[in-house]
Chains A and B, each alone.
Chain A
Amino acid sequence: MTIKGKAYIAGIYEHPTRHAPDKSTAQLHAEVAKGAIEDAGISKDDVDGYFCAGDAPGGAWPMVDYLGLNTKKLRHIDSTETGGCSYIIHLGHAAEAIAAGKCSIALITLAGKPRTGAMPPRAAGAELDFESAYGATTHNAYGMCAMRHMHDYGTTSEQLAWIKVAASHHAQYNPHAMLKDVVTVEDVLNSPMISDPLHRMDCCVVSDGGGALIVTTPEIAKSLKKPLVKLIGHGEAMKGPRGGKDLDLTYSAGIWSGPRAFEEAGITPKDIKYASIYDSFTITVLMQLEDLGFCKKGEGGKFVADGNLISGVGKLPFNTDGGGLCSNHPVNRGGMTKIIEAVRQLRGEAHPKVQVKNCDLAIAHGTGGLLGVRHAASTAILERV
């Protein structure tokens, strides 16, 4: 049993806003749902599967009601919550549901306002009393990973900076990007230290916004007008300290989700023309590239240096919208925008300055939670038909 080729991404929409003081979170969900539905060229009454995560106000049932989805038709609901990679997991789950005949047109939404509104608190797990007092945040949890990666493999701040430099080269062409200035390695190193060894420019932006997808059957996708993009491989995984045994913060759950996706797709990292890699921090990208097999563990620093991730310059163009490091990071979650830019690349709809030539195979990979504590990862491999 496989989901290879069983589901197509027929609609995408990324909210252009980065700052939405005048909108509600539910409204942003509705705006991105409307955008993706219109992009696909379907009616909202055709949607029979709905997917959302912890950012949807109240969860799935208030959202289904608020969005006015057709409840006579809606027959598959999934509110899997795995932080920033939730939407990549939803994409795989939507394909599974479509392959099993449980729905035929799935809507996935993400939206929120970390910049101008409150973020819902994360529910505590069994670790509460043994961790909450120590103030793990995204910054220092990823800082701990970077510190150990540097110790074990000699990775440098200069190498990490190249990831931000590459993202900034792409962001200059994105009119919606929050940070459009091209930066240098020196700029990154001279930005203030936030949580050792991560500088401010190693960190992603905080933005309002959102995005949505329409996932459907091959037959329905072919009846619509958009270029065809199909899901050919998917993987998901989780990792945590697991009782503190053999702690190793230099790799992520991507080390499991990646091979699962590549195996299903029947391709290898060498075949990938474009990579959307979650970039909450520069170290996130470096570790994911290693974990996905684009280079050996410990060689990520060398791999990302000297512009290797810049479209038209390096061997692996990544995050050509500017990514979380420069464009946006709606709800502090990067998974959705990673899928959207990968679909743009496969459709040939990326900005001409960053469009990858003959882009037929792309990867969208994300993590959720805290890489330095406990997290999820999900990998999707997409093919232009």
Chain B
Amino acid sequence: MVDAKKYPAPVTNPETAAFWDAAKQGKFMIKRCTACGEAHYFPRSICPFCYSDKTVWEEASGEGTIYTWSLMRKSPTGPYAIGYVTLKEGPSVQTNFVDCDLEKLKIGQKVKVVFKPTDGAPLPFFTVA
């Protein structure tokens, strides 16, 4: 059976609810500060770089490259690969790689976002592009 892993539903909160509402539509959102122009992830109301409150939601391309990865060979739910993806828009995000050969992951490889269902909003993961 492929990908039987059950993922926890996001708890969500008022600051991040819009991210999860968009995820239900298959959209991967980041936040951008209109004062300093920087994008960031995970989303905050106050820009972590310039402390402006003028942050806005932006739909990201969902494309990026692998910054690093590590394949956990054993776990109660089987092997899984954790890593960071540097998005086209700039920020690097923590994720798992799914639906691809985990033994063949490479730093610099192109990947794209995929959503996996939970009992609540779906969670973003990345797979080889």
A144 and B83 within 8 A (CB): yes
Contacts A243-B40, A243-B44: A140 and B11 contacting too (C-beta < 8 A)? no
A193 within 8 A of B: yes
B94 and A241 within 8 A (CB): yes
Count class of interface residues, chain A:
35 or more
Residue interface bits A117-134, CB-to-B below 8 A is 1, else 0: 000000000111111111
A73 within 8 A of B: no
Which B residues contact A (CB, under 8 angstroms)?
A: 7-8, 10-12, 16, 20, 38, 40-42, 44, 48-49, 67-75, 80, 82-84, 86-87, 90-96, 107, 118, 123
Q: Pick the interface stretch among A39-47, A162-170, A244-252.
A: A244-252
A128 and B11 within 8 A (CB): yes
A144 and B41 within 8 A (CB): no
A151 within 8 A of B: yes
B40 and A148 within 8 A (CB): no
Inter-chain CA distance A273–B67, complex, in Å, is 37
Inter-chain CA distance A334–B8, complex, in Å, is 31
Inter-chain CA distance A151–B44, complex, in Å, is 31
A144 and B70 within 8 A (CB): yes
Inter-chain CA distance A134–B44, complex, in Å, is 20
Q: Shortest Cβ distance from B116 into chain A, in angstroms?
A: 9
Which residue of the partner chain, among B7, B20, B68, contacts A249 with CB atoms under 8 Å?
A: B68
Nearest-CB residue, chain B, relative to A151: B107
Residue interface bits A305-347, CB-to-B below 8 A is 1, else 0: 0000000000000000000000000000000000000000000
Contact partners of B84 in chain A: CB under 8 A: 144, 241, 247, 249
Contact partners of A192 in chain B: CB under 8 A: 73
In order of increasing CB-CB distance, the 9 nearest A-B pairs are A244-B91, A143-B70, A243-B40, A130-B42, A247-B92, A129-B10, A148-B68, A140-B70, A243-B48
B70 and A135 within 8 A (CB): no
Nearest-CB residue, chain A, relative to B89: A244
Nearest-CB residue, chain A, relative to B124: A130
Q: Shortest Cβ distance from B5 into chain A, in angstroms?
A: 10
A195 and B70 within 8 A (CB): yes
Inter-chain CA distance A295–B91, complex, in Å, is 30
Which residue of the partner chain, among A133, A148, A194, contacts B123 with CB atoms under 8 Å?
A: A133
A135 and B82 within 8 A (CB): yes
Identify which of B11, B71, B95 gathers the most chain A CB atoms within 10 Å of its CB: B71
Nearest-CB residue, chain A, relative to B20: A129
Contact partners of B40 in chain A: CB under 8 A: 243-245
A136 within 8 A of B: yes
A133 and B72 within 8 A (CB): no
Interchain residue pairs with CB less than 8 A apart (25):
A129-B10, A129-B20, A130-B93, A130-B94, A139-B72, A141-B70, A143-B72, A144-B83, A147-B68, A148-B67, A151-B68, A151-B107, A193-B73, A194-B72, A196-B69, A196-B70, A198-B70, A243-B41, A243-B48, A243-B91, A244-B40, A244-B91, A244-B92, A245-B91, A373-B94
Inter-chain CA distance A130–B71, complex, in Å, is 19
Inter-chain CA distance A245–B96, complex, in Å, is 19
Contacts A144-B82, A241-B92, A243-B48: A137 and B42 contacting too (C-beta < 8 A)? no
Contact partners of A372 in chain B: CB under 8 A: 68, 70
